[in-house]
């Protein structure tokens, strides 16, 4: 990955919270819990997923930077949604997502060139490096912002 691509992905990552916050603007209670289809997540559930995913991502990046060849553990996002009460109020999860993403963004901005070459082993996908991490998480929030807009459109009038 060259420096220009890295900078674009870092900007996309930093903009992720704003994309989600914009998708949630003036959301109604009905829109918050509407599902765009069977087995699909509501906007509320997506916000909780983003908080859980962002915490996981933050730990993954820190392990990659601080340890030599760390094991990066996968997790079952659907089990999290089933077992971590994704029906609860979403506001604290949204704030957690914002805060963790901001902290991690500050870390990304301070990384040295050699930091970008660090790697570990992911339990589900094998070789997993910092650049792979950035490629995954740069777009993650934007994808879910689109899903929030789709879920809002599925509300029952």
Q: Per-residue confidence of the chain (157 residues) as pLDDT tens digits? A: 898 999 999 999 999 999 999 999 999 999 999 998 888 999 999 999 999 999 999 999 999 999 999 999 999 999 999 999 999 999 999 999 999 999 999 999 999 999 999 999 999 999 999 999 999 999 999 999 999 999 888 765 4
Instruction: Decide the pairing of beta strands 126-129 and 119-122.
Output: antiparallel
* H helical segments located in 15-155: 16-24, 29-33, 43-66, 77-83, 91-109, 130-153
- Token duo for residue 135: 């490629």
Domains along the chain with CATH numbers: 3-153 (1.20.120.450)
Could you give the strand order of the β-sheet that contains 126-129, starting from the edge strand earlier in sequence?
A: 71-72, 119-122, 126-129
* Predicted confidence (pLDDT) per residue in 89-125, tens digit: 999 999 999 999 999 999 999 999 999 999 999 999 9
Would you state the pLDDT for residue 156? Answer: 54
Q: How far apart are CA 92 and CA 51, in angstroms?
A: 9
Take residue 149 and report the two structure tokens written for it: 């807009």
Instruction: Please state the separation of Cα 119 from the chain's center in Å.
Output: 20
Write out the two tokens for 66.
């601080």
């Amino acid at each position: 990955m060259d420096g220009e691509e890295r900078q674009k992905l870092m900007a996309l990552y930093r903009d992720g919270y704003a994309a989600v916050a914009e998708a949630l603007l003036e959301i109604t209670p009905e829109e918050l819990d509407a599902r765009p289809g069977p087995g699909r997540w509501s906007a509320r559930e997506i916000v909780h997923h983003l908080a859980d995913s962002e915490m996981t991502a933050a730990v993954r990046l820190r392990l990659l930077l601080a340890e030599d060849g760390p094991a990066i553990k996968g997790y079952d996002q659907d089990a999290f949604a089933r077992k971590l009460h994704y029906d609860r109020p979403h506001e604290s999860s949204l704030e957690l997502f914002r805060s963790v993403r901001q902290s991690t963004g500050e870390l990304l901005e301070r990384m040295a060139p050699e930091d970008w070459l660090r790697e570990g082993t992911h339990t589900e996908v094998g070789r997993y490096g910092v650049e792979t991490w950035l490629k995954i998480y740069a777009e993650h929030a934007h994808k879910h912002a689109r899903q929030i807009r789709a879920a809002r459109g599925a509300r029952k009038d």
